[in-house]
A and B are shown apart, each in its own frame.
Chain A
């Protein structure tokens, strides 16, 4: 059973802000997803090999060869805020 508290907890893990009046909407959606999973769990899968990826591909590698990185200007162009070549973010330690 998904409760409003569960929705709040999942939202906090994902750093999402959800208004109190929207909680029942998400609760219902998560509930229906879980019901679908329950439905899948009832299927007979004893003879189906487990799938970990939807593509039937494996062993895709890259050789250990250096290619140019971004220039500092390019790297910093994504920064909302910066300081002496670093990305600057709100303090995460008191």
Chain B
């Protein structure tokens, strides 16, 4: 029997607001323990939460970017459970009226376009951080993270392989980065992902029993965990067993999933409306205003750039992989420079400079006009490719004018026939036997002479012109 894997993903996104969701404590990462806490986020008696305006706004942005319907009536609910990371004994979340519902995300996977449904996106508060310290035989609690605004994004169980899940996550992250609502950094925990995985015989409509995978700290870990879990479930079913619904923790070092203790699994959260927060109503005008502020999103931009510039999908994917990089390209393209050459310079040499510096294009002194000028100087034969790469390495940091650098460093290719003529004549005199070979029909022997001339001119000759010149001299002098 052939099985197919059914995957749904839950992504938690920490928002990059200045303050927490319900209080005015700083929303920051990596500060000393318990230095960003106040009576509200510590859940002290008598305190009241008040919603951060920007959180609702970011929630709308995320919902709209994922093609969701924004609920015009929004409220918060309490999700009750006892754990030391949750000082109030409940998490303020959203249950039946989330900010956004019923959307989708388009992306490319395996060379094909794919659309995955988004069930919902809702706002909630993050919990504190627990450190299990063997030295003091206790659990230590840092509440700095408590009350950090989160958006949880739940996909439909429409993903069919670990690779698809990986590609969905990459596309989702890119979309969220375009919105500039979060760092989207899995290492820092500002983007986290849980996966619901089940298997079923191919062709079967009914969903199999699912398990929930947690504790993956990179997209590739999500992929490996799903692959492992799908195989585990298939082996279980083949050997006559059945899948038990449970939560599993991914162990990265051992590459295995381990069941969470049953004690931590009591999924009886007894949701009820949060009495400390009044509801929110959103007008269609307010929703339209936020929609109007959305940037062009990566998938739409990809499609437009392929059509508008006649570039390959492959190149467009690299360009849109960073909003600022694509902006840079389009600004340079506006100058009318040859787009095909520009793409090659962006995705080749410029990308290399960025990777070496581990920075974004906006961190460079280089401006789009400079790159366009450089590409133009290569295309009109003023400089060689090699010289242009050296110039690029210089001007990404210095921000100098391309033509100025060409003059300062004397990098312009020599096309002047008088100057070329002198050097070529010398070379021909020094290598009469090669000249004879060319005359007797071995045209490619000229390559040696081109090399010799290049050497003498320290690479500043235009090799094409030089080659033609040598051929002509040999035949006619």
Contacts and interface: CB of A to CB of B under 8 A. Distances in A.
B270 interface: yes
A45 interface: no
A36 interface: no
B138 interface: yes
Interface string B96-131: 010000000000000000000000000000000011
A76 interface: yes
Contacts, number: 129
A37 B84 CA distance: 33
Nearest to B138: A88
Contacts of B427: none
**Chain B: interface residue count, which band?**
35 or more
Nearest to A61: B53
Contact of A53 (B17, B75, B133, B270): B75
A67 B36 CA distance: 10
Q: Which interface residue of A78, A85, A91, A93 has the most chain B CB atoms within 10 A?
A: A91
A44 interface: no
A87 B19 contact: no
Contacts of A70: 37-39, 42
Contacts of A61: 50-53, 56
Interface in B49-67: 50-54, 56
Contacts of A66: 18-19, 24-26
A13 B54 contact: no
A64 B34 contact: no
A57 B138 CA distance: 44
A69 B136 contact: no
Given A65-B18, A78-B44, A52 B279 contact: yes
Nearest to B34: A75
B24 A87 contact: no
B137 to A, nearest CB: 6
A15 interface: yes
Given A58-B281, A69-B26, A83-B138, A63 B266 contact: no
B51 A62 contact: yes
Contacts of B33: 84-86
Contacts of B140: 83-84, 86-89
A86 B279 contact: no
Given A86-B140, A87-B141, A58 B42 contact: no
Contact of B75 (A52, A76, A83, A85): A52
Contacts of B273: 52-53
Contact of B24 (A14, A65, A89): A65
B365 interface: no
A64 B53 contact: yes
Nearest to B57: A64
A60 interface: yes
A62 B50 contact: yes
B143 interface: yes
A49 to B, nearest CB: 11
B83 interface: yes
Q: Which interface residue of A64, A65, A66, A83 has the most chain B CB atoms within 10 A?
A: A64
A69 B278 CA distance: 25
B280 interface: yes
B42 A75 contact: yes
A44 B5 CA distance: 47
Contacts of B75: 52-53
Interface string A26-52: 000000000000000000000000001
A91 B279 contact: no
A78 B44 CA distance: 9
A93 B323 CA distance: 43
A93 to B, nearest CB: 5
Interface of A: 13-15, 52-55, 57-67, 69-70, 72, 75-76, 78, 81, 83-94
24 contacts: A52-B273, A53-B273, A54-B275, A61-B51, A64-B53, A65-B18, A65-B19, A66-B18, A66-B24, A66-B25, A67-B24, A67-B38, A70-B42, A75-B143, A78-B44, A83-B138, A85-B32, A86-B131, A87-B143, A89-B138, A89-B141, A90-B138, A92-B84, A94-B261
